Amino acid sequence: MDPIFRTDLKRVVLTGSESVGKTSLARELALHFDVECVPEFVREYAALKGAPLDFKDHGPIARGQIAIEDEYAARANKLLIQDTDLVSTVVYCDHYFGRCPQFIVDAARERRAHLYLLLDIDVAWVPDGIRDRGDRRDEMHALFASRLAELGMSTENISGGFPARFEAAVRAVESLLAA
Q: Which domains does the chain have, with CATH numbers?
A: 3-178 (3.40.50.300)
Tens-digit pLDDT profile for the chain (179 aa)?
578 888 899 999 999 998 899 999 999 999 999 999 999 999 899 889 988 899 999 999 999 999 999 999 999 999 999 999 999 999 999 999 999 999 999 999 999 999 999 999 998 766 665 545 656 788 999 999 999 999 999 999 999 999 999 999 999 999 999 99
pTM score of the predicted model: 0.93
Written in H, E and C, the secondary structure of 19-87 is CCCHHHHHHHHHHHHCCCEECCHHHHHHHHHCCCCCHHHHHHHHHHHHHHHHHHHHHCECEEEECCCHH
